[in-house]
């Protein structure tokens, strides 16, 4: 698959998933949140499919959810109630933010998919008991999948999944590393499409696609730099607007790293291929940079963000926060304070999936980048 096809795939994921399902006969399992242990779904011979919601109008979901709920959650429920997700063989909800937890309750009562699994992960991540509890929860998830998909998840299939996911995550990271040296080689919106498509497509085919992209980039490595704008880090929940990256580039910026669900939270962290497979999956969640729906230390998130800015030599941070997203909104003031104390320029952009990026946001970007 080339970049153009990846763009199309992430713009029309249902069509791809239905076609793939028909051709391969494989089960497709929908999931929310980067805390879903995809490796186990893959090891159960199914395809993990991240649900992003709609960018169209919302009406059906409004009968179940208040309007002051984030747009990804309202959009996902809208898609489910409209029947657009009927091709799914089941759905997995990890225990993360309140909105996803409540969505799980509403979904269970109103969306008749063949199965519905809650993965009740720990909230606090930095203790020995959290490690034990996380491992137990993952063992239970394995059993739930085996029962619902009527398969056995063997140690070999889990090891294969771990090795494949290490390849996928490593390849996405390699693409970003190449792009950081010379951003002119790959547009930000292309990188965004690669990450989003990686959460949807057949993972075996994905490995080959990522390899081809890396080869193509390496062949162009010596090309002269064309764009070297202000280096930005994006931080927040998830971004469902690929045009956002284009606007940043149009105004002379370049995204060198992010702390997003549609970015580094998906591909950061390699699994230990030699140890106990379930313990390796748990370890990645315990050691990965956490999102504010989890907790380890009082200032862990700020320290992690400062490290990212320093390591990536960034000029500034753009907080991309979904409207009505409590975890990230509560996190923002203290993160901003830490950045301000270090003299790191930052700005906040509130967005909704259903609203287009208007002139007002463009002007704010332009002003921020000029200020840098
Ligand atoms: S921002 Fe956090 S809680 Fe929300 S979907 Fe991403 S990982 Fe999950
Ligand atoms: S983390 Fe925020 S944006 Fe993501 S699902 Fe939860 S409330 Fe919504």
Nearest to 161 by CA among 74, 299, 271, 4: 271
In the predicted structure, residue 104 carries a pLDDT above the cut 90 = yes
80 pLDDT band, cuts 50/70/90, is very high
Task: Report the separation in Å between the CA atom of 179 and the middle of ligand 1, taken as the mean of its atom positions.
Answer: 25
pLDDT in tens, 36-72: 999 999 999 999 999 998 878 889 999 999 888 999 9
Residue 360: its pLDDT value, please? 73
Which strands, in side-by-side order, build the sheet including 316-322?
253-259, 230-236, 316-322, 346-351
Query: What mean pLDDT is predicted for residues 298-323?
Result: 94
Per-residue confidence at 227, pLDDT binned at 50, 70, 90? low
> Ligand 2 test: best mutation among 66, 67, 68, 322, most atoms within 8 Å of CB?
322
Q: State CA 291 to chain mean position distance.
A: 11
Which residues touch 228 (CB under 8 Å, ≥6 apart)?
183, 184, 254
State which ligand 1 atom lies nearest to the alpha carbon of 72: 5
Compute, in angstroms, the gap from residue 228 CA to the centroid of ligand 1. Answer: 30
Mean pLDDT of the region 288-314: 92
Determine the residue of 52, 69, 236, 238 to mutate for testing ligand 1's pocket, defined as the one with the most ligand atoms within 8 A of the Cβ atom: 238
Q: Average of pLDDT values for 82-107?
A: 95
Nearest to 162 by CA among 35, 30, 42, 288: 42
Tell me the whole-structure pTM to 2 decimals: 0.94
Ligand lying nearest the CA atom of residue 103 = 2
Ligand 2 atom closest to Cα of 293?
A: 1
Question: Quick one: tokens of 46?
Answer: 């199914």
Of 293, 319, 321, 328, the residue with max ligand 1 atoms within 8 A of its CB, to mutate for a pocket test, comes to 293
**Cβ(320)–Cβ(245) below 8 Å:** no
Angstrom distance (rounded) from CA 135 to CA 152: 18
pLDDT computed for residue 246 by the predictor: 86
pLDDT given for residue 223 in this prediction: 64
Q: Give the residue, by CA position, lying nearest to ligand 1 atom 1.
A: 237
Strands across the sheet with 46-50, in order?
A: 46-50, 27-31, 90-94, 116-119
Q: What is the pLDDT of residues 133-150, one digit of tens each?
A: 999 999 999 999 999 999
Lowest-pLDDT choice from 168-172, 268-272, 282-286, 353-357: 353-357
Give residue for tokens 């390591």.
Answer: 311
CA 137, CA 204: separation in Å to the nearest integer? 27
Tell me if 318 CB under 6 Å of ligand 2.
no
Kindly report the number of other CB atoms within 10 A of residue 306's CB atom.
Answer: 18
Give the contacts of 12 (CB within 8 A, at least 6 positions apart): none
């Amino acid at each position: 698959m080339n970049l153009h096809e990846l763009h199309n795939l992430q713009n029309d994921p249902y069509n791809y998933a239905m076609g793939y399902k028909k051709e391969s006969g494989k089960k497709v399992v929908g999931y929310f949140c980067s805390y879903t242990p995809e490796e186990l779904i893959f090891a159960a011979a199914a395809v993990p499919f991240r649900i992003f919601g709609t960018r169209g109008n919302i009406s059906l979901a409004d009968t179940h959810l208040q309007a002051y709920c984030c747009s990804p959650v309202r959009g996902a429920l809208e898609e489910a109630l409209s029947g657009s997700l009927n091709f799914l063989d089941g759905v997995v909800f990890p225990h993360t933010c309140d909105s996803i937890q409540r969505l799980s309750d509403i979904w269970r009562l109103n969306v008749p998919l063949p199965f519905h699994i809650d993965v009740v992960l720990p909230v606090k991540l930095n203790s020995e008991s959290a490690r034990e509890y996380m491992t137990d929860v993952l063992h239970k998830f394995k059993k739930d999948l085996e029962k619902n998909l009527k398969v056995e998840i063997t140690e070999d299939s889990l090891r294969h999944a771990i090795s494949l996911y290490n390849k996928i995550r490593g390849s996405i990271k390699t693409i970003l590393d190449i792009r950081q040296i010379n951003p002119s080689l790959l547009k930000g919106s292309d990188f965004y499409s690669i990450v989003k498509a990686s959460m949807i497509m057949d993972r075996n085919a994905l490995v080959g696609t990522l390899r081809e992209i890396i080869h193509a980039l390496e062949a162009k490595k010596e090309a002269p730099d064309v764009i070297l704008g202000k280096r930005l880090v994006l931080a927040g929940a998830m971004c469902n607007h690929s045009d956002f990256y284009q606007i940043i580039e149009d105004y002379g910026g370049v995204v060198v790293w992010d702390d997003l669900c549609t970015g580094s939270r998906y591909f950061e962290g390699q699994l230990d291929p030699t140890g106990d497979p379930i313990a390796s999956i748990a370890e990645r969640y315990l050691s990965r940079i956490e999102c504010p729906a989890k907790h380890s230390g009082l200032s862990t998130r700020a320290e992690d963000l400062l490290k990212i800015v320093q390591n990536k030599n960034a000029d500034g941070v753009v907080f991309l926060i979904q409207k009505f997203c409590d975890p990230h909104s509560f996190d923002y003031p203290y993160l901003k304070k830490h950045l301000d104390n270090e003299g790191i320029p930052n700005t906040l952009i509130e967005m909704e999936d259903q609203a287009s990026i208007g002139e007002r946001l463009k002007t704010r970007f332009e002003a921020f980048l000029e200020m840098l």
